[in-house]
Amino acid sequence: MIRTRTALRHGRTAVGVLLAGAALAACGSGAPHQGSAAVVGGEQISIAAVESRVTGVRDAMAAESGGGRTTERSQLVRRTVADLVLNEVVAKALADRQLTVTDGEIDEARESEAKMLGGMAELQRDLLFKQSVRAGDVTAFYRQQVGIKKLAAAQGKDARSAEGDAAIRAALTDAGAKLKIEVNPRYGQWDVRQIGLTNTVSDWLRQPAATAA
């Protein structure tokens, strides 16, 4: 089931991995996938953007814990790629339904959870160590969370229910198929139906067309 952070004690957003914000750059000239972690709807998520976010998360964890507590790098890299792709899938699903997430809704969700945990500092620490979300990505995290819940609400369903989960999955599966997602095989492959990364490897760098003899 796709879980949302309606309350921290009710579990975290799933679908493989859901966390943080996006760092996208338009595809340039040359090999279409060179330097890409993924291509989503024709837009590139660069390896550099993924590595920058991973380094930022690990540095924040080390600083907060005195250098003794970080997440294993390869796991965090894969999680980051999946999350950045998912952000775009959620955005597409919302746009297709003419739904939006407002700054006020993001603030309300964040403040509600901060109150539950005893303050913004406690919330940020919880997000950092449990969700690998650094301070600069908190807004994007809640944009994704609120957006996922809205996909269920648009069908009159609660995101925490089986019916809500099914509605969300249907919306995200449809959006993912439309975006024609390609992921660098070092991170796996995006499974449209599972709405997450799998370990299946396929060709990545497109080969030049064969020339006539």
Distance, in Å, from the CA atom of 132 to the CA atom of 196, rounded to the nearest integer, reads 17
**The predicted structure's pLDDT at residue 2:** 56
Q: Find tokens 């070092």 and name the residue.
A: 186
Q: Which residues pair with 45 in a beta bridge?
A: 24, 38
Distance, in Å, from the CA atom of 204 to the CA atom of 36, rounded to the nearest integer, reads 10
Residuewise pLDDT in 10s, the chain (213 residues): 554 554 444 434 433 333 333 322 223 333 447 799 999 999 999 999 999 999 999 999 999 988 666 778 888 999 999 999 999 999 999 999 999 999 999 999 999 999 999 999 999 999 999 999 999 999 999 999 999 999 999 999 999 999 999 999 999 999 999 999 999 999 999 999 999 998 745 444 444 444 444
DSSP secondary-structure letter at 192? T
**The predicted structure's pLDDT at residue 28:** 34
**The predicted structure's pLDDT at residue 199:** 78
Angle, CA of 195, 3 and 193, to the nearest 5°? 15
Q: Which three-class secondary structure string do you get for 27-87?
A: CCCCCCCCCEEEEECCEEEEHHHHHHHHHHHHHHHHHHHCCCCCCCHHHHHHHHHHHHHHH
**The predicted structure's pLDDT at residue 54:** 96
Cα–Cα separations (whole angstroms), residue 12 to 17, 39, 127, 157, 198: 10, 26, 10, 18, 20
**The predicted structure's pLDDT at residue 31:** 42
Amino acid in position 181: I
